[in-house]
Structure 1
C-alpha cells in the first residue's frame, strides 16, 4: 500500500533542519525501496522559497509502519517536525510509480 505523507516543521526550524538534513536524508535512503518520492515542502513557489516541512510517497504494509518510520526520522527526534503528520493512503493510477 502507498501513503502520501506531509510532515510540517515547527515554526522557525530552518537552521535546525539544515543542521540535521544529512542525517535525515541518510535515514530515508537507508529505508531502501520504501520511499518512492520525497522532498521538502516549500514556503511558496518563488525561487528563494525556504523548506517548511517534508513530503513523502512511501510504500508500506500499513499506516502504523509509516508512523513508526516517521517517529525515528532525525527531523522528528531532533525536534524539527511538528509531529502533526498527514498520512493518507493512496492508490497509484497514473505515472511511473504505479503498480500493474
Structure 2
C-alpha cells in the first residue's frame, strides 16, 4: 500500500536540515523497496522547508515506523508530519 508523507520543517531550521541531509539521504537510499519518490518542498527563496515522500509499506503503522527512523525525525526537524494513504493511477509506475 502506498502512503504520502508530508513533512513540514520547524521555522528557522535550515541549518539543522543541512546538518542531517547526508544521513537522511543515505537512510532513504538504503530502502528503495519502500521509498518510491522523495524530495524537499521549497520556500519562496528556493530553500528546502519540508519533505514529501511516497512510501510503499504494508500498512500505516509500518509507514510511521519507517518515518520515525529517518535522521530528520531523530533531529526533531519537523513541525508536522501528515501521512495519507495514496493510490497511484497515472504517471510513472511506483
Give TM class, smaller chain. Answer: over 0.9
The corresponding residue for 2:93 is: 97
Return the structure number with greater strand share: 2
For the residue of structure 2 that corresponds to 1:49, the secondary structure is coil
Q: Is the 8 A contact 1:71 1:77 kept in 2?
A: yes
Per-residue deviation, 1:12: 0.7
* Largest Rg, 1 or 2: 1
TM-score w.r.t. the length of structure 1 is 0.88
Name segments (4+ residues, structure 1) moved above 4 Å. Answer: none
Per-residue deviation, 1:97: 2.0
Superposed, 1:20-99 pairs within 5 Å as 20-44=20-44, 48-82=45-79, 84-98=80-94
RMSD of aligned residue pairs (Cα, Å) = 1.1
* Structure 2 unaligned residues grouped into runs of 5+: none
